[in-house]
Amino acid sequence: MKHVLEIPPPITEENKDRYLEELSKITEADDWIERHSIENKSNQDVNKTGQHRDAKTTFEEEPAKFYEVVIEAMLGLVGVIILFFGVPILGFVLFY
């Protein structure tokens, strides 16, 4: 598939009408998007006040606090220490 880049000609008096027509189409499109975006936003506000809510949109995850991260790291470290030292000692005590 070949991509063709269409570069418009420079604005001159000859193509001024074409340029202004294209500019008005872009402006109309932007206005249409803005009008419909406002309608969609008001619909979202109505959905938020209703009883049926989507769990994906209403759930906000709180960032982990520093002490929670430290506690989880310490628990992981304790688990590794028990695995490497506690299990062999327990085996030695039980089977000796």
Is pLDDT larger for residue 62 or for residue 75? 75
**pLDDT tens-digit map of 6-43:** 887 787 888 888 888 888 999 999 988 888 886 555 55
pTM comes to 0.32
**pLDDT for res 40:** 52
- Residue 4 pLDDT class (50, 70, 90 cuts): confident
How distant, in Å, are the alpha carbons of 23, 28, 39, 53, 57 from that of 49?
40, 32, 16, 8, 13
Quote the pLDDT of residue 28.
Answer: 92
Report residue 19 as tokens.
């340029």
